[in-house]
């Protein structure tokens, strides 16, 4: 009996000693993984620009190895790891590969395989990043959905539209961007101008400059500002006719936005209106170039300060047409330019006197 008890005690002591060893082993910190470096095609050295791209994953260790301080790092695309080439330390692992999953061996193959989603557009309230449930009631194969499920789809579509435009900011953008698209399309403006106008309107909304003002007037003012910044010949009268907002209201909103957003809008060059007015009056290219020459001479002498650009352009076309033997009446030019006959006469007299033009009308 004594021998059996002593054996039990010995077994217990051996078990306790093994447990203590295990606990001691568990408490020891794990050594950092090291790996022998085999240079392959898919292992590339880390470039300085690449660290910034993966800065969130790698932290401060992107530029230097924390173990040996070396900057000689490589990226293993097969394992998704960053390894130090000098000491073999695995600095980071399980990295996402942001490149394509396909390979291309020439530019033609790259163009065929390259793909991507539609770009974000500022002309849409949600910038185009939204899911839409269409109204065709057909599945992915083109088969018509059963009538029992159509009522459910209708409810889903209705609530989806309500929830996608929930805040006042989104509602404002939905109304304003639709109006912006309508006015810009009527004025024949390109998509780049529409995008720039949408960006400027979003800035105004974020700065809370829309309160107490008509959405239509602010939209018209934004379009006018972008046209002037890009040198597109669109007058306040043109925008007022299309938008249905009074010219004074658009001008007031434009001056307010220019002041609050600190917009750098250059002075309008009268020569930008010459091709537009000349094409309506059926005047040839020689008359257009002559009118632009007259405007440039007037700009050099500083005769255009405080003068409306449309009136100066109309007077220059009026003079150039007379010089080239294709006279147009003051009323015809005034109707096209949107100014009065008195304005054309005044600008004509100033240009004739200051530039010593040999013309009698």
Tens-level pLDDT at each residue, the chain (361 residues):
444 555 454 555 554 555 444 444 445 555 544 544 444 444 444 444 343 333 334 443 346 888 888 888 888 777 778 888 888 888 888 777 666 667 778 877 777 777 666 677 888 887 877 777 778 888 878 888 888 888 888 888 888 877 777 777 888 888 999 999 999 999 999 999 999 999 999 999 999 898 888 999 999 999 999 999 988 888 898 899 999 999 999 999 999 999 999 998 888 888 889 998 998 899 888 999 999 999 998 888 888 877 888 999 999 999 999 888 888 999 999 999 889 999 999 998 888 888 888 887 7
- Where are the alpha helices (H) located in the chain, listed in sequence order? 2-27, 48-53, 55-58, 107-113, 147-164, 168-186, 191-206, 215-229, 236-243, 247-260, 274-280, 285-300, 309-323, 330-337, 341-355
Task: Give the β-pairing of 90-92 and 81-84.
Answer: antiparallel
- pLDDT at residue 318, as a whole number: 92
Coil, strand or helix at 361: coil
User: How many angstroms from the chain centroid is the CA of residue 159?
Assistant: 29
Q: Quick check: 180 and 194 in contact, CB under 8 A? A: yes
Best CA proximity match to 225, nearest among 206, 199, 244, 207: 199
Beta strands 73-76 and 81-84, pairing class: antiparallel
The count of C-alpha atoms lying within 13 angstroms of the C-alpha of 32, restricted to the half-sphere facing its C-beta, is 13
Largest CA distance in the chain: 142
Query: What CATH fold (topology level) applies to the domain 168-260?
Result: Cyclin A; domain 1 (1.10.472)
Query: Helix, strand or coil for residue 275?
Result: helix
For the stretch 279-301, what's the b/e string if a residue is b when 16 or more beta carbons lie within 10 angstroms of its beta carbon?
Answer: eebebeeebbebbbebbeebbee
Whole-number pLDDT of residue 226? 94
C-alpha closest to that of 194 among 207, 179, 204, 206: 179
pLDDT for residue 331: 92
pLDDT for res 44: 46
In which residue ranges of the chain is CATH 1.10.472.10 found?
Answer: 168-260, 270-355
Give the C-alpha distances (Å, rounded to integers) separating 98 from 80, 101, 270, 306: 11, 9, 50, 56
CATH no., domain 270-355: 1.10.472.10
Q: How far apart are CA 284 and CA 335, in angstroms?
A: 19
Contact 105, 89 (CB under 8 A): no
Residues in a beta bridge with 81: 76
| Beta-bridge partner residues of 92 | 82
- Which CATH code fits 31-102? 2.20.25.10
In angstroms, the CA 123 to CA 13 distance is 78
pTM of the full predicted structure? 0.60
């Amino acid at each position: 009996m004594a021998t059996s008890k002593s054996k039990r005690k010995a077994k217990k002591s051996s078990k306790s000693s093994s447990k203590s060893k295990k606990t001691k082993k568990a408490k020891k910190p794990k050594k950092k993984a090291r790996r022998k470096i085999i240079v392959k095609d898919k292992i590339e050295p880390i470039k300085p620009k690449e660290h910034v791209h993966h800065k969130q994953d790698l932290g401060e260790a992107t530029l230097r190895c924390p173990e040996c301080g070396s900057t000689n790092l490589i990226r293993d695309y097969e394992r998704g790891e960053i390894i130090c080439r000098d000491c073999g330390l695995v600095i980071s692992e399980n990295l996402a590969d942001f490149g394509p999953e396909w390979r291309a061996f020439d530019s033609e193959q790259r163009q065929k395989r390259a793909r991507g989603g539609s770009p974000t557009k500022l002309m849409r309230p949600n910038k185009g990043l939204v899911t839409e449930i269409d109204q065709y009631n057909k599945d992915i194969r083109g088969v018509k959905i059963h009538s029992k499920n159509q009522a459910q789809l209708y409810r889903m579509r209705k609530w989806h539209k309500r929830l996608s435009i929930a805040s006042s900011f989104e509602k404002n953008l939905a109304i304003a961007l639709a109006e912006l698209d309508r006015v810009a399309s009527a004025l024949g403006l390109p998509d780049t101008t529409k995008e720039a106008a949408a960006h400027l309107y979003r800035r105004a909304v974020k700065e809370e400059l829309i309160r107490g003002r008509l959405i239509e007037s602010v939209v018209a003012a934004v379009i006018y500002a972008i046209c002037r910044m890009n040198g597109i010949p669109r007058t306040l009268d043109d925008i007022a006719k299309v938008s249905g907002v009074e010219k004074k209201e658009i001008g007031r909103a434009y001056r307010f936005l220019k002041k609050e957003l600190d917009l750098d809008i250059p002075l309008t060059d009268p020569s930008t209106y010459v091709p537009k007015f000349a094409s309506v009056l059926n005047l040839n290219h020689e008359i257009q170039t002559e009118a632009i020459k007259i405007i440039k001479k007037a700009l050099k002498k500083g005769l255009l300060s405080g003068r409306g650009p449309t009136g100066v352009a109309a007077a220059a076309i009026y003079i150039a047409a007379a010089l080239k033997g294709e006279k147009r009446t003051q009323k015809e030019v005034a109707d096209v330019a949107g100014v009065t006959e008195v304005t054309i006469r005044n600008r004509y007299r100033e240009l004739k006197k200051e530039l010593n033009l040999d013309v009698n009308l």
